[in-house]
Structure 1
Amino acid sequence: MPKTETAPAMTVEQLADLRIAILRLANTPHLSNDLETIAPYGAWITYRLDAGATEHTWDANVSGHRVANGVVDRDAPASIHLWSTTPFDVTPDWLKREIENRTPTW
């Protein structure tokens, strides 16, 4: 006769809801942070709504080619990570519009 096991009562609680938008970018302005400048070709945007929260947060990983002295180096991929929660708002307006246009309805 097979042995039956009893498991303790489980508690499962959803902590957050995540949504992802993946974008191909073309003809966008260069994007810079304190370390480098890139010519963007793609973005991975993650939207997060924590349980009980009324407003979501987002973070964006923007991929591109490094730009040095105004010249795009197609052999040098790089990325810049941006957050909605950073104390310094360095997200360019064109990217803010794309993020806002794709914000999920929760």
Structure 2
Amino acid sequence: MANLAQLDDEYHGLHAAAVEPGYRRVAWQRCHGRTTRVRVCDYTCECQQIVYELCQAGGLMFVRRFYRCDGVLEHQSDWLRAPAATRLWSRILLGQAR
């Protein structure tokens, strides 16, 4: 069995699957300062060029998307209730939405 330090070095994090045919287009919007505090609940691996974050703030959730190469937040999804946001998050991870 591998030791924990070795396992930690090898594990990067979640990767979003490649886009599937017939995927759903997300209505991405420019990020705006709707709130001052946002909790990141989950995220994809930073070894990819595009990183996604599942975020929560003010009782709602949304997905942020940014490009790792310049580190600037680019877009966010609509703010949704938790069940709808977690479905969107799952679809992004499975390649069914972008």
TM-score, length-scaled by structure 2: 0.29
TM-score, length-scaled by structure 1: 0.28
Greater Rg by CA: 1
Higher relative contact order (CA 8 A, sep 6+): 2
Q: Comparing both structures, which one devotes a greater share of its residues to strand?
A: 1
Q: Comparing both structures, which one devotes a greater share of its residues to helix?
A: 2
